[in-house]
Amino acid sequence: MTVIGFLPRLALVGLIVFAGDLAGRGIGTLTGYPQLSEWLGVVSAIVALLLIDTLRIRRLMQWLREKQPGDAPRSSGYWGDLAYLIERALRKRDRAIAHERLQLQQFLSAIEASPNGVLMLDAHDHVTWCNRVAADHFALDPQRDLQQRITNLVRYPSFVSYLQAGRFNEPLLLTSSRGSGTLSVIVRPYGDGLRLVLSQDVTERERAEAMRRDFVANVSHEIRTPLTVLSGFIETMSSLPLSEPERRRVLTLMGQQTERMLSLVSDLLTLAQLEGSPRPGSDRWIGLAPLFQRLGTDAKALSNGRHQLKVGEVGALELAGVETELISAISNLLSNAVRYTPEGGEIELSWRLAADGHGEISVTDTGPGIAREHLPRLTERFYRVDGSRNRETGGTGLGLSIVKHVMQRHGGELQVQSEVGQGSRFTLLLPPSRVRQAAP
């Protein structure tokens, strides 16, 4: 406070002393004590200043107790400056707190948006915060379960042991609380005894890994079988004298096994190409009638007169897509029907245009049919309803996988209807955007 700040206070003191002096002279004249004026002036100044300062302190304390609802009390002198400095410090603190609160809210919102679960534990393993993903993974309530011990809420013995052991180098795999997937859980210590529990749904990754293992095992098995046969025949031909009929029979069998391996490799390459190439456009149109005529001719050649094959009328329609892929999908269905339908059975290739504009290409047979429990897995690679029969007919176990991928790429789907002893019906559904009337 500068010298100028003292002037009002000095003026007030002087005024009070002067007033006290006048009052003291009057009282001293009446009482006969003239010195009383000096003492009364000084005492009056001190008392007045104490009262004024007390009132100012009271106003300031009342403002502080009320948690600063408005501006600080305005006054001159030291108390006015002190109130202003306190008000400025409090406003600065409030701005800092608001900024920190905003940053914390943004940080928690970012964690909330994470596809992984985040769970915060205190030094006693009590839940202090969790996002919605973690709450779903561990079946928690983000509000009700706060400050609850995590081991009382998540009762997996492996999780409790993992948390208590304190060795968090490797993640822990758990079955989801919903019972429909697998969770990868890892714990990271931080702060003063605090822990961060991170959870991730790895169901699809585990399923893909299992499919990869099965795929490698199946491919190895499918290739090893014909190679074993070929190796045995080569050893036989090189070590034993064979007659001409025996030699021709061995070469025929070797040719069949070689062709089986070539078919397997061809189907694997087709699948790889379907999975790695972009989705076909809707601007390449194919005539449906020539397509059906070509497929019917190939199916009759494969059947060689052993079945009654019917090809339905399609009219002047066109399909949008890749011709080779559509031929591959339909021919796979027809070849399966020829392989598994007994001699004398019926096979029909038909077309239907639905009322909503989507198209249906169906292959119906009178074969032995497929049990209901096998239908959901028919399009899995190398899945066989009857493995021995499939190998006898020359199938690779990849045909329906190719059909499914072709339909997915064209925005459609494969539907299967079958009953044991009643035959099967495989239907390719094409969206309306890929079906149109042919131009005149």
Query: pLDDT per residue over 93-110, tens digit each?
Result: 888 888 888 888 887 787
What is the pLDDT, as a whole number, of residue 1? 45
What is the pLDDT, as a whole number, of residue 388? 46
Residue 427 pLDDT level (bands cut at 50, 70, 90): very high
What is the pLDDT, as a whole number, of residue 126? 92
Would you say residue 403 has pLDDT above 80? Answer: yes
pLDDT tens digits for range 199-232: 988 888 888 787 777 777 777 777 777 788 888 8
Does the global pTM surpass 0.95? Answer: no
Least confident stretch, 142-156, 274-288, 403-417, 423-437: 274-288
Q: In whole angstroms, what is the distance from residue 12 CA to residue 122 CA?
A: 60
Would you say residue 405 has pLDDT above 80? Answer: yes
Percent of the chain with pLDDT over 70: 82
Would you say residue 389 has pLDDT above 50? Answer: no
Residue 347 pLDDT level (bands cut at 50, 70, 90): very high
Would you say residue 18 has pLDDT above 90? Answer: no
pLDDT tens digits for range 37-76: 566 666 766 777 777 777 777 877 777 777 655 676 666 6
